[in-house]
Structures are given as structure tokens and as C-alpha cells.
Structure 1
Amino acid sequence: MTQNDGKAESGRKAAMAEIADLVARVSAADRAYHGEDAPFISDAEYDALKRRLQELEHLHPDLARADSPTRRVGAPPADGFGKVTHAQRMMSLANGFAREDVEDFIARVRNFLNLGPDQPLALTAEPKIDGLSLSLRYESGVLVQAATRGDGVVGENVTANAMTIPDIPHRLIGAPEILEVRGEVYMTHEDFAALNLSGEGKVFANPRNAAAGSLRQIDPAVTARRPLRYFAYGWGALSEPLALTQFDAVRRLAELGFQTNPLMRLCHDVECLIETWAAIEKQRASLGYDIDGAVYKVDDLSYQARLGFRATTPRWALAHKFPAETAWTRLERIEIQVGRTGALSPVARLAPVTVGGVVVSNATLHNEDYIAGRDSTGAAIREGRDIREGDWVQVYRAGDVIPKIADVDLSRRANDARPFAFPTHCPECGAEAIREPGDSVRRCTGGMTCPAQAVEKLKHFVSRAAFDIDGLGAKQIEMFFADPVLPIREPADIFTLAKRDAAGLTRLKNREGFGERSVEKLFAAIEKRRRIPLARLIFALGIRHVGEVASATLARHYGSWSALVEALERAAPAAERHVAAEDAVARERAAAAAEGRRARVKEVRDRIWSEAPDPGAEARAAWADLVGIDGIGEVLAVSLVTAFAQKAERAGIDRLLAQISPLDADSAPETQTEITGKTLVFTGTLERMTRAEAKARAEAMGAKVAGSVSARTDLLIAGSGAGAKAAKASELGVTVIDEDEWLRIAGAG
């Protein structure tokens, strides 16, 4: 193995740490932007961070986290409004930033649809409005409901407020019986300036915040006084099609009385799309409202139906974003924050500066290498310029997460400025903070004895996607964690809170923010969560790499808590041997790189597997079943098994399970098919449907798609050239079908 191979392994470990950092920061920005209307960074910074995350996930697909913000939309709906479950999920859009991204998008669409280079493919191009997404539901031509996007599945009911917006018709003539119109609520620059000068309420940072805050007023009369506008650009549920193409369907919306964007254009090649994007950018300053790019959509609606959706984005659309904006400011100090996994994350505290219309006072510094002016492989970044407290730094924003420092002005650096000394001990508990070879992140070794980690794990446990206990949020967790009488130091303590002594409860009722009624409501909310869906419980445990999507996948696969625990316990010996082998391989690669020789990876791995005690057929089968689940890689599987094998962590989980009852997973969709709940594997080449389309179709029909054949496989779809997987399926007695039979099942024959 060459020296470059050693660097590649180090880069992979660094990528894992950077992915964790990016997931946390993008998620925080999503909550601020979608849930609180209070973004703390610009669209440009957000896009840059999310794009970097997507790049890392593409380069290292096995490191992609299930809780990655690239797999979800928006943020949970805010309190204060009734909740609305969308009849069709409101999706986000995949982003592109360069011509190459647009070309890749077109190529992916053509490959998915199996279109030849000479077959026509039309797309629409229109401005991407920077506002608040709103869905309008009409029944028999009457507006009956308006809902924000929320998290894409559940939004806020803002019907009364939406009816005060002049651009939104209350009645339609000639519309389908059921019509959900999707569009964007926005505010013009002129109206935004007038609102901030009026002295009515808060001063907003930008028109998007003003529009979102105005629409979310509890009193519709306040919304009515705000100058809100609405552009329609799409639709959700329909009782009958609006047209056969995207372009004609939007034109139909205009005929029904909605405002649609006059800059929308129909294109037939990449050149036209880029020209339209450039023309829109030139008009950006004179449009009178905020846009942050152009949106391209496949025009043929039958193609859109075939392309379908990824987890959070449609395959048939792309947002081509405008470049980021930058500004210079002074870095006042560098602070170190400790996350729930022990990662030490440096944050730059800046002299406030406006970037792209938003005031920025914090920026991410990623890790100690980034501060020192090098990347994960040791190569120079910023031409080797390090970052020091007191420096003048260039800040850019690519979205709605903590901004990033792009460069340093050495000509303005003070003579006494010193290189930043990254701590080697946790600033919260004093435990040693170690950095494993090849890892870019330094981590506190204090575990749950570290108050920062313990508090962050508890905050995660009560978060919306986890137990979501009303009245017990991040602030309350911090309060209870420090309370000597009614402490909450681990999840189980939450469910024994109401069983503490009377003196403690009296003290709680007399605490600021807690009266007798609020305490009763808190206890009722806790009792309500004693029965919890399995997927939520798995996610709430805060196991590293195990996010919402992976938790749901595990819940569907194993069905019950007892089955999951039993499987993980059986898989533990095989997981230990896997870890031992990979550790030995990593050491061999490092040694080979240092000695300038080729690493003996296969030899080392085979030796460890032969020397280590055989875990047994049962353990091997359980491990193979776990890593064979589509979306569950070896890194995640090891993390999961290890968490349940560690005595202290397992004891805490057991104490929690003594207080609650997990609900078995119900993976069956409303519409049952002959493959609902079954595990499918595709192999070989399909002639009339791409592999991606086949997988998407199977999952939409309620099936699970695995990457390898095992005893749990129900059906193998074998295309031409099927090899080892088909042989293994035959050996295990798994049913094998050809492409024709698959097309019949999928309703595409």
C-alpha cells in the first residue's frame, strides 16, 4: 500500500467527523429558518455547508448518516397553530451551483428515464422566490385550508391569515373538485422597508422573515395589515390533472386567478437553462422581491411521475442557486463547544456584520486543522494561513446555518497575535480530549460523566423527532440537570420525576415558570410518552450515526424492541471480530504508508478473521442481516451494537425501558400490494426500467429493498447478467423472478 493509500484512509475518517459537524450545523439552521423564522446565517452559507455535506456523502456513501438534513425537509411546525397533515408531502429541492451541476441533473434524468441523446427533454425555468412555502386546498372551488410546509409532512394551519392576502383567491371557477395549489408567500422590498419604518412590532432582518412572521400572526387582523403577496408555482393533491405539462399546468393556475411568475420559460437544452438563469440574475436587483436562484423542472408530467421522489426532493427538479455573498469583520474570540458525542467544535465569535441582508456574529471553524490552515490530509488551505483571535476574516454565507470563514487578511494581523492552541482537555469536565489517528475531530473521553455530553443527550432525547414531551425542552433540561432536589441526569429520571417526594414537588410548583397547573400538564405529557413508537425510541437514544431515517428503517426491519435487542445481542461477537479486523487493517495501512510499501490488507484481515474465535453461525447470520439492511452500513451497525454491549450505556437503556413501553412498528402502508412488507433484492441489468426507478417503485409499494441476499430475503429480481446473488438466492431457497414478472408486479408491464 502506498503513502497515498494511507492518506485516503485518514481522509475517510476525517470525512466521518466533518459529516457529523455539518449535520449538526445544518440541522440547527433548518430549525432557525423554517421553525422560528429567525435565521442566523445567509442562504449562501447554508447552501455551501449543505453542498459540502452532499459531496462528502457522495464520496463516502457508507458514512451518510440517517439523520442527515439532506434526507429531510424543513423543520417541525411551530406551536401556536393547529397542525395539518399534507395530503401529499411538500418537498424541498436539490441544489446546483454550477453549469456542471445542471448538466449532471439532465444526465441523471435521462439515465433514469432511459432516454437517448436524440430524444427530446423539455424543462421549465423560473425564478426561485425566497419566501415562505404555502399550500392552499380548494374543494369545489372554495378555499378550505391553507398550511405552511412545516417539516414537509405536517404544517401549520394558517387558513384565516392566508385569506387576508389579496393574491389568494377565495373561490375558483372551473377548477378541479380537489385542488391543492403550492406557492410562495413573499414581501416586496418596498413594502418591507415601509413595514420596518412603520414602528409596528419587531424590526425584521429581511423580507423573507417579515413575510413568515406576518403570516404566522395569531391575530389575522395583524396579517391583514401586512403587505403580503403570493406566487403560485405548483400543486399537491388533485382530483384531475391540470394539464399534461408543467408549463401548461402553471398557465392553467394563472387562468384560475393566481399570480404566476412572468419570467417562467420553456427550454429544451442546457444552454437555454443557463441563459435563462443568467438573465434572471441580471434582473435580480430590479425585480423588487428576493430571489436566490432559478428552478428547473421536467416539463412532461408523465416523466415527473416516473421520476418520482427521493427522501426529501423530487428527482425531476433542481434549484440552480446564485453565488454566495461575503463580508469582512473582526474575529473577537474562538470558543469551544462540546456536543452530545463529545466532539469539541470551535466557533468563531465575530464583531457583528451584515452578509446578504442578515446580521452575522458567529461562524463555524470546523476543527483544529481548519483553524491551522490545513485540510484533513495535511495539505494547505487558504495557502496555509491560520486563523487567530483578533484577525480580520472574510465571512460568507451559503444558507441558513452558522456562516463560514473563507479567508484571513494577514496585513491587518496584530504583531502580538498568537496561534490558537486547541485544547487537549474538555473545557466542560476536564477529561482528556483525544484525537484518533486519521480523525479530524477531537473528542472528550468523559462520556456521561461530562455534563456537556449528558445535557446534550437529554436535549436530544426530548427533541421533537424523539420523545417530544410538551413542557420539557432544552431550557427545562438544563434547569433540571442542575437541580439538586429534582435532578434529571438520564432519560429514566424523566419518568420518575412525578414520583419524587412531596417537598421536591412543592419546590417545583414554586419555581419561576412552574405553577401547579403547568406542573400537572408536564406530568401528564410525561405519562403520555410512556408508550412510544419504536422508531422514535431508537432515535431518542442518541446513538452515534443512528438518525431518524435509520431508526425508522431498523424499526420496520425488526418490528419490535425485543426483536431488535435480541438481534443486536446475537450480532455482538461478529461485530467485535469485524472491529478487530478493521482496526488491524488500519494499523497495517498506517505502517505501510510510513514505510513506503504496499499494505497487506487482505492478508491482515484474513489473519485476524482466522485467529479470532469464531462467533458462530448465529452471530454471523445476525451480523449479515443487520448490515444487509438497505441504508445500514458497517459503521452504523458497529455503533449500534457497541452501544447495547457497553455495560453503563445498556444499564441506562434498561432503566429507561423499565419505565416505558415501546410500540411495535407497523410498516404496512394504507394500500396493500403483493410485495408490501417483503424484502427485495435487485441484481443484474434491467432492460426496461433503471435500477433506481425499480427501487423507488418497490419502496413506494411498501417493500424493503436490501443490497444483499440473506435468509430474510423474500424476492430476488434478476435482470440480465445476474451472478452471485442469483446463485445465493437459489441456495437459500429465495424466490427468483425475471424483469417481466417484476414489471407486472410494479404495474409497469
Structure 2
Amino acid sequence: MEQITAQKRINELRELINKHNYLYYVKDNPQISDQEYDQLMKELIQLETAFPELKTEDSPSVRVGGEPLPFFEKVEHRVPMLSLGNSFGADDLRDFDRRVRQNVSTEDVRYVCELKIDGLAVSLRYEDGVFIQGATRGDGSIGEDITQNLKTIRSMPLRLTEPVSIEVRGEAFMPRRAFEKLNRIREEKGEQLFANPRNVAAGSLRQLDPKLAAERELDLFIYGIGIVEGHPIDSHSKGLDYLEQMGFKVNQERRVFSSIEDVIAFVEGWTEKRGQLPYDIDGMVIKVDSYAHQGELGFTAKSPRWATAYKFPAEEVVTILEDIEVSVGRTGAVTPTAILKPVSLAGTTVKRASLHNEDIIREKGIMIGDHVIVKKAGDIIPEVVGVLAERRTGSERPYVMPAHCPECESELVRLEDEVALRCINPSCPAHIREGLIHFVSRNAMNIDGLGEKVITQLFNHELIQNVADLYFLKREELLALERMGAKSVDNLLAAIEASKQNSMEKLVFGLGIRLVGAKAAKTLSQTFLTLDRLVEASEEELIAIDEIGPKMAHSIVAYFANSAVHETLEKLRQAGVNFEYKGPRVEELPTDSAFAGKTVVLTGTLEQLSRKEAQAAIEERGGKVSGSVSAKTDLVVAGEAAGSKLKKAQELNVKVITEEEFIALLQS
């Protein structure tokens, strides 16, 4: 085929594929089968491969994901992406309305109400109608260039219907259907399940390999204009209509009101029916419609005065508690879990909920057969928050915690100053199995492919009895197991081999020493530098370390005094597992950063960083992160919905900064 003919066919294919992308992903109105669509894409890729000079950056074929990037470039937003102030009830919305009307020149105020999509805010730039760059919100002024990842979202147009130059704002998210599908696949592989769609969407768009983002079936709603050239628009509602004309996917559940009471009624209606949507929302956004009024109202240092984000209260439902099961953790703690009559909550079906411990069951007066109130703590973890005692029929029965371990029948004990019952039998199968699951987890040795199901399978087949056995697994043993193909086995063995090079703190945390979390494991590793030196440490040496108290010191010494532990460590040494700390030593940490020598507390929900990323950033700069506020705290970083820690910081006069200020300090 000659080049001119190829160019003509490529143009036809691109037009067809873009049309069907729009019908399927934006209008939800597919007009061809998946097989027909795949055939069109296959033909386009074949032609572009044969004539590489004809491939362009706005071709639909770029959505499959390009080559991995070494890092993300920084992008300065032409118009800052400010965060919104929050409202938590009808009175807050009335106060917002009062402030607006006091500061605009006319009484004709209208509000646009939109769903607040629970995802990742992004900015998209188009020149002459072609998508050229996409970025995360970042600190509002500077974000990260995620252009290649955004191209994998099929509802996002690569070319607009008109050759306009425009910068728009949107929210990338993962639909519930795609989230449930992803977790089903991970469950089948024995991998850890994702907590919620928002985390997956944010994590997928911040992966250096675009192919991963392409696999995640993300979606995108555009909710505003940053800059548009040559198209005067005088209101937000007209701006949304214009974005639709350009081919963007704009949420249809938006309304314009002249009365704040109508706004409140609309918001409260969605509070009740948000679970019916195919995606997660965590509130509503209310904006003054007129751009002229927005200009009059202006901005505070952190947010526009013409908009507010209404936050939904945590959703609660009533269901029946059918039974209570107990499970044994890696430290022997016995935890009760409520078995519920399945109920829809915050977009997912809930069958189990945490009861924490025996004291909580007694305090709340929970009985088997009760009608109970369930909510998701932080919209993630289901928990029983109360009982509807007035609905009792007399058939309910009290729950009695078992006296013996459900796994090994050993007598359960309650240690001094603890609320949990414990199995203290070191040979308990639950101890061993849960310890193995902990050892391979992400914050510990991070062995990809060794999820809970695979560990349980290996344990039940007696291929592993302690963590060191993992490093002596044989290929033929694994191939003999159910659902273990050659490629999976090779990947698993490669991941186990790679974990041998982890820094010492990963191993220390993975060993599961009681009271030693990831933070303490790093402190111990930075101090002693080798595992052999830590093994020899006395309680006095350990207590002398800041953050290591008497109870933890005693636990560490007692752990390493166990002869079985020494046998395991020797076997790990023989396998070639690294026993040395590879990170910066205490004396090598920066002394001239804003965090050097400071104790920082993180509270509330951070939008731009995960809690783990924020902690790592502080520690890299010579600071340390504490879980509680005290007179020794130097700084508190307060995200959204900051609670008791923020209140205590204010009472103690501890300096409090916002997430935006925190990001600015990190970048400085």
C-alpha cells in the first residue's frame, strides 16, 4: 500500500475509532461490538507500524500505553488549582450564601450544584484542539506531568471538535464496576485487595509505566475551564455546556438554582441516593454561576470565596448481625468480626464488620440477632457503631468470647494493661500463617505475588513453616500446586530472590516483633546498622534510643532470646538475605531542611500524598513522624477532616500548617 492510500485509510480509521470511543465512553451508547472495535484498532496499529512517519500523538493507538518513564517532570499550572473550603451541613451552606450575597453587586445570584467525584484532580491542555499535556493538581501551582497516563483514558478526547486552545480541569476516577473487577482478579491471584477506587485511580495515574494505567479502565469527568482563547463565556453553567460541545465528558447530574434552600434540598437528596451511582462521590460542589460575581468575590490565600465543597456525613445503614467470628492475628490477638446480613453501604456490599475486641461488644451491648447500625470508618472499613435495642424480639442472644484458641485450642489469656485476648502458643498455626502473610506484605519484604491465598496454600501443603522456608522453595514444588503455571512460578521466584536485597528495616519489620512497627524498625536499623548488632542489644541500649520505650525494648530482647528465632535468622543468612541497613544513617540526614530535628504529626486526609509518602518525605529531610500530639511536637500537618489531633495541637499552641503549606516546605 502506498503512503497516500495509507494516510487516507489511517484518517478514516482514526475518525471511526474516535467516534466509537465517544459513543461508548462518553454517551454510554455503543453502536458496534467489542470485536468490531478491536478489529478497527488492530488495522490502525498495523498501518502505523508499516508507516511510522504517519503516526501522530493524537492517534487513538497511543491509548494502549507507551514506554515507562524514568520520573515525572514538574508542570506549572497557568491558572492555580486551588482547593475548596468545606461545608458540613445546611447551616454552613446558608452561611456561604450570606457571605456571597453580602459581597456581590446584584441580588441575582445563581448557584451551580455538581457531584464531587471521589478521584484525582487533573489539568489538561489542548493547543489547536489537540491534547498536548496533562498534570496532577500537585500543590495547586505545580503538578506532575502525567500526559502518557491520561492518554490511556478512553473518555478523554485526544482531539476536540474544534481547533481551540484551552486548559480544563477534571477528576479522574475508577468506576465501581472496574474496581470490583480489579479486586476479583487480585483475589484470584492471592494478592492484597485495594481499599477503594480513589486510591487505585490516584495510584494508577502516578505510575511511571503507562501500560499499568491502560489496564485500570479509568474514567474522567471535566468540571471546569482554566483558560480558553477566543471564546468569551460569562458563566460556569455555559462553560460546562461549551465543554460538552468540544467533546469532553461532563457530568449530567448538575443543576442551577437561585435559592440556597433549593441547593440544600438538592444536596440532601444526593446524600440519600449517592449509592445508586456507578462511581463514588464524597460530596457536592456549589459554585457561584456568574463569572462576574466570581471576580467580585475573589479568593482567600487557599481557596475561592465563590465555591464550597459540601461533605457528606459517613453513610450509615441498618442490618442484622447474624453471628460473630473470631480470628487470630500474627501476634496472637483474637479479634471478633460481625457477620452481617448483606447490605449495600457506600457503593459496596458489606457482609462483615469490625467489632475490635470483647470490651467494645460489652460497651455497645451487642447481641447476636440484633439490628445494628453499620458505617464505613473513613468511608473504607465497615464497623458496627450501635445497636437498635428497641427492635429486639427476645430471640437475640449474648455473645461469649471463646476461652480457647479457635486454631490450636490453647487457652486464651489477657495480658496486663491489654484489652485483647491472646493465644500465646508460639506453635499455633494461625500465628505462623499470619506471620508469613505479614513478612511478605508491602511494608515488610514486599514479595509480589505472595498474597494471602498463595501463602495459605504453601502453608497447608507444608512447603513453608517459617519465613526462612520461603527462600528455599523449589520450582518443581510450586509447579505441582493448583493454579501455579510456569510463568507465575518464575515471577514468584524472581520476586523472592529480589527481596533478599531489601534494606535491614524491611526485614526487621517483617519478622513481626511485637510492638515493633515500620517506623520503629527503621529507627532501630538506622541506629544499629546490622541485624547482628540489634540481636545483641540490651534493654538499656534500646531504651536509650528516642522513641523506643521500656515495653518495646523488653519485647525486642525477649524475641531475640528465643532459640527458634536464632535458627530462622541463621537460615535467612544462609539464603543470602541482606542483614544490613542501606538507607541514610542518622548522622547523614539533612540538618538544614525545614524538618531537620523536628517532630511532625500528620492528621486528616491528605489529597496530594499518601500518609506513607508524606512520612517518607519528612524522614528523608531529617524529621520524624509521631502518631500523637504532645508538648514535644514541633509541627502538625492538617489535611481534610482533621479531628482530635488538630484540636489538641491548638490547645497546646503547636504550629499547624495546611497540606499546601506542607508541600511548599517539602519543595523548598
Shorter-chain TM range is 0.5 to 0.7
Alignment match of 2:510 (pick from 515, 540, 552): 540
Structure number with greater CO (CA < 8 Å, separation at least 6) is 1
Distance in 2 of aligned mates of 1:545 and 1:410: 41
Give the corresponding residue for 2:536. 569
What is residue 675 of structure 1 aligned with on the other side?
592
Q: Tell me, in whole angstroms, the C-alpha distance in 2 between the residues paired with 1:542 and 1:470.
A: 19
Q: Which of these residues, 631, 655, 665, is aligned with residue 571 of structure 2?
A: 655
- In 1, Cα distance between the equivalents of 2:402 and 2:321? 19
- Alpha-carbon distance in structure 1 between the residues aligned to 2:623 and 2:213: 47
- The match for 2:560 is 644
1:643 Cα deviation from its structure 2 partner: 3.3
Please report how far the alpha carbon of residue 262 of structure 1 lies from its aligned counterpart in structure 2 after TM superposition: 12
Which SS does the other structure have where 2:507 is aligned? helix
Note the C-alpha offset of 1:407. 0.7
1:421-460 mapped onto 2 (5 Å cutoff): 421-447=400-426, 449-460=427-438
Matching residue's letter, 1:529: S
Distance 1:625 1:568, change over 3 A: farther
> Whole-Å Cα distance in 2 between the matches of residues 434 and 366 of structure 1?
17
**DSSP-derived class of the 1:333 partner:** strand
Matched to 1:652, the amino acid is T
| SS of 1:345 mapped into structure 2 | strand
Task: Name the CA distance, whole Å, in 2 between partners of 1:423 and 1:279.
Answer: 49
Separation (CA, whole Å) in 1 of partners of 2:476 and 2:164: 61
Q: Which residue of 1 aligns with 2:358?
A: 368
Shift of 1:341: 1.5
Match of 2:470 among 494, 507, 512: 494
Distance in 2, matches of 1:466 and 1:352, equals 33
Encode CA deviations 1:76-114: one digit per residue, 9 max, x unaligned. Answer: xxxx9987766689xxx9999968xx9xxxxxxxxxxxx
Paired with 2:435 and 2:349, the residues of 1 have a C-alpha distance of 30
Following the alignment from structure 2 to structure 1, what is the Cα–Cα distance between the partners of residues 331 and 149?
38
Q: Tell me the equivalent position of 1:230.
A: 221
For the residues of structure 2 that align with 1:95 and 1:258, how far apart are their CA atoms?
A: 26
8 Å contact from structure 2 (residues 539, 557) kept in 1 = no
Following TM superposition, by how much is the alpha carbon of 1:442 offset from its aligned partner in structure 2, in angstroms? 0.8
Change (3 A) 1:653 1:128: farther
Pairwise CA RMSD: 6.1
Change (3 A) 1:401 1:701: closer
- Identify if the C-alpha distance between structure 1 residues 327 and 678 changes in structure 2 by more than 3 Å, giving closer, same or farther: closer
8 Å CA contact retained: 1:233, 1:260: no
Alignment of 1:515-534 (within 5 A): 515-534=485-504
Structure 1 residue 541: Cα displacement: 2.2
How do residues 575-594 of structure 1 correspond to structure 2 at under 5 angstroms? none
Contact persistence 1:396–1:406 (CA under 8 A): no
Matched, 1:511 2:477: no
Distance 1:234 1:418, change over 3 A: farther
Matched, 1:292 2:212: no
* One-letter code aligned to 1:643: Y
Alignment partners' CA distance in 2, 1:277 and 1:565: 65
Q: Deviations over 1:591-645 (max 9, x none)?
A: xxxxxxxxxxxxxxxxxxxxxxxxxxxx3xx532343xxxx66655554454334
SS of 1:480's equivalent? helix
- Does structure 2 retain, via aligned residues, the 8 Å contact 1:182–1:232? yes
Pairing of 1:234-383 with structure 2 (within 5 A): 281-282=267-268, 284=270, 291-293=281-283, 321-372=311-362, 374=363, 381=364
Asked whether the equivalents of residues 331 and 351 of structure 1 are also in contact (C-alpha less than 8 Å), the reply is yes
Aligned partner letter, 1:281:
V
The counterpart of 1:395, out of the listed 361, 371, 374, is 374
CA contact (8 A) 1:390 1:414 kept: no
Of 165, 173, 191 in structure 2, the residue corresponding to residue 185 of structure 1 is 173
Q: 2:116 aligns with which of 118, 129, 154?
A: 129
CA distance in 1, matches of 2:318, 2:616: 51
TM-score, length of structure 2 as denominator length: 0.53
Question: When the two structures are aligned, how many residues end up with a matched partner?
Answer: 463
SS at match of 1:704: coil
Structure 2 distance, partners of 1:539, 1:275, is 54
Residue 336 (structure 1) shift: 0.8
Secondary structure of the residue that 2:545 maps to in structure 1?
A: helix
Instruction: Determine if contact 1:183/1:234 at 8 Å carries over to the other structure.
Output: no
Conserved? CA contact 1:392–1:413, under 8 Å: no
Change (3 A) 1:220 1:325: closer
For residues 457-476 of structure 1, what are the structure 2 equivalents within 5 Å?
Answer: 457-476=435-454
C-alpha displacement at 1:697, in angstroms? 13
Q: 1:625 aligns with which of 545, 549, 560?
A: 545
Letter in 1 for 2:322: E
Deviations 1:139-177 (A, max 9, x none): 98844678999xx9999975443143359979997679x
Q: CA deviation at 1:675?
A: 3.0
Q: Which amino acid is 1:653 matched to?
A: L
Cα shift readout 1:248-304 (whole Å, capped 9, x = no counterpart): xx99x999998899999xxxxxxxxx999957734636999663236899x979769
Structure 1: how far apart are the matches of 2:452 and 2:561?
A: 29
Matches within 5 A, 1:598-613: none
How many angstroms apart in 2 are the aligned matches of 1:233 and 1:668?
47
**Matched AA of 2:171:** G
**Closer/same/farther in 2, CA of residues 675 and 359 from structure 1, 3 Å limit:** same
Partner of residue 164, structure 1: 155
Match of 2:13 in 1: none
Matched-pair contact (CA < 8 Å) for 1:168–1:230: no
Partner of residue 482 from structure 1, selected from 460, 473, 480: 460
- How far off its partner does 1:436 sit? 2.4
Q: In structure 2, how many angstroms separate the alpha carbons of the residues matched to 1:156 and 1:301? A: 30
Matches within 5 A, 1:402-421: 402-415=382-395, 417-421=396-400
Aligned CA distance change for structure 1 residues 324 and 492 (closer, same or farther; 3 Å): same
User: What secondary structure, in the 3-state scheme, does the structure 2 residue paired with 1:680 have?
Assistant: coil
Distance 1:345 1:172, change over 3 A: farther
Question: What displacement does 1:348 show?
Answer: 1.4
Secondary structure at the aligned position of 2:156 is classed as coil
TM-score (norm 1): 0.48
Q: Report the equivalent of 1:56.
A: none
Query: SS at the partner of 1:479?
Result: helix
Q: Is the 8 A contact 1:131 1:212 kept in 2?
A: no
Quick one: distance in 1 between partners of 2:598 and 2:356?
A: 39
Distance 1:331 1:521 in 2: 42
